[in-house]
Amino acid sequence: MADAKATPEAVKAEVRKLILEEFLPGTDPGELTDATPLITGGILDSLGTVKVVAALEDRYGIEIQAHEASVTHFNSVADIVSLVQAKLKTRQ
């Protein structure tokens, strides 16, 4: 479902929740910072990345391309938030 009022803080909260629930269950939320390396740190693999892609597309009604499923856009919460924001901006 698209969410036109998605602020960076709201997107960040959603992304953090997704990562903590799906990939870091039982981990202290404080350990997941905006810069925690997700792909290079072994938290997200290819399957994890496509799962996050699917969740973001569903949640924000955006479309993420194959070449964007990369370290550049998915290696940290901050990277993901930037990508989502950019996509939302383009859509508007």
Partner 1 sequence: MSAAPGATAGGRPLRARLPGLALAAVGIAGFAGGVAADRLAGHGTGFGLARAAVVLVGLVLAVAGVELASDAGAERAREWRDALVGPLTKAPARLAAVLGQLVLFALVVRLFQVESPAFYRLLVPLTVFGFVVHHFLPARQRLGFFIALSVVGVVMVLGFTNALWLLALVLAVVSLAHLPVRFWLRVALILAAAVALAVLRAHPQRAPWSIAIWPVLGSILMFRLIVYLYDLRHATGPGDVRFTLAYFLLLPNVVFPLFPVVDFATFRRTYYDQDAVATYQRGLQWILRGLVQLLIYRLIYQYGTIAPTDVVSLGALVRYLLATFGLYLRVSGDFHLVVGMLHLFGFGLPETNHLYYLASSFTDFWRRINIYWKDFMMKVVFYPVYFRLRKRGDTAALVTGTLIVFGITWMTHSYQWFWILGRWLLSWTDGLFWAALGVLLVANSLLEKRAGRRRPPGSASATFRGAALLAARTAGTFTVICLLWSMWGSPTPGDWLDLFRVPTPTPAELALVFGVLLAIGAAAVLADRRERRLGAAGRAASGTLAFGPRAAVTAAGLVVLWLAGSPWATAPLGPGAQRAMREFRFPELSRRDLATMQRGYYENLINVSAQNGELWKLYAERPTEGADIWSAGVLKDRPDFLAKEMRPLFGIYQRGLTFRTNRWGMRDQDYAQDPPPDTYRIALLGQSYVAGDGVSDGETFEALAESRLAREPGRRTHVEILNFAVGSYSLLQQLLIMDRVFSFHPDAVYLVGGPGDPGRARLHLVQQLRRGVPPPWPYLQGLLDRAGVNASMRENAALIRLRPYSDSIVDWTYAQIVAECRQRGVKPVWIYLSLPQPSPDTGVGTAMAAQARAQGFVTLDWEYVYAGHDLKTLQASPWDFHPNAEGHRLIAERFYRDLTEDPELAVPK
Token couple for 15: 């992304």
Report, in Å, the least distance between residue 9 CB and partner 1. Answer: 22
**Residue of the chain from 18, 24, 55, 78 that contacts partner 1 (CB under 8 A):** 24
Of 56-85, which residues contact partner 1 (CB under 8 A)?
65-67, 69-72
Which letter does DSSP use for residue 92 in this model?
-
Which letter does DSSP use for residue 76 in this model?
S
Residue type, 78: A
Q: Is the Cβ–Cβ distance between 71 and 32 less than 8 Å? A: no
With tokens 């550049």, the residue in question is 72
**Residue of the chain from 6, 11, 15, 43 that contacts partner 1 (CB under 8 A):** 43
Report, in Å, the least distance between residue 5 CB and partner 1. Answer: 27
21 in contact with partner 1 (CB under 8 A) = yes
**Which residues here bind partner 1, judged by CB under 8 A?**
21-27, 31, 36-38, 40-43, 45-48, 50, 54, 65-67, 69-72
